[in-house]
Amino acid sequence: SQQGEEDPQALSIQEGENATMNCSYKTSINNLQWYRQNSGRGLVHLILIRSNEREKHSGRLRVTLDTSKKSSSLLITASRAADTASYFCATGVGKLTFGTGTRLTIIP
């Protein structure tokens, strides 16, 4: 079964605006993570939220988790050009299952 589908697939916003990406999953989870991938590079861990948490913050990042809807959102506030990347949600312990990703472009 597919696990972790992000939307939108692509998002372009002006620098300084907020960017919101969503992730849906199908099976029950212990936690959900968000990773960033710059073009052609490795994945960088951003934030992990556990199934008993509803919201978590890290700097300009805010993640929410709604286990009843099996969905999560990643909000990046005050976006910068350096935030241009693909963003993936991932679920699992050990074996991570990644979503399809949102390609975020910040326009200077």
Partner 1 sequence: EPEVTQTPSHQVTQMGQEVILRCVPISNHLYFYWYRQILGQKVEFLVSFYNNEISEKSEIFDDQFSVERPDGSNFTLKIRSTKLEDSAMYFCARGSSGGPYTRTDTQYFGPGTRLTVL
When asked if residue 64 is in the footprint of partner 1 (CB under 8 A), the reply is no
Q: How would you label 53-83 residue by residue, b for 16+ Cβ within 10 Å and e otherwise? A: eeeeeeeebbbbbeeeebbbbbebeebeeeb
Q: Is 95 in the site for partner 1 (CB under 8 A)?
A: yes
Residue 46 CB, nearest approach to partner 1 (Å): 10
Which window, 13-21, 42-50, 52-60, 67-75, contacts partner 1 (CB under 8 A)? 42-50
Amino acid at 85: A
Q: What is the C-alpha R_g of the chain? A: 13
Q: Which stretch binds partner 1 (CB under 8 A): 15-23, 26-34, 52-60, 62-70?
A: 26-34
Residue 101 in contact with partner 1, rule: CB under 8 A:
yes
The whole-angstrom separation of Cα 94 and Cα 75 is 25
- Residues of this chain that interact with partner 1 (CB under 8 A) are 30-31, 33, 35, 40-45, 48, 88, 90, 92-101
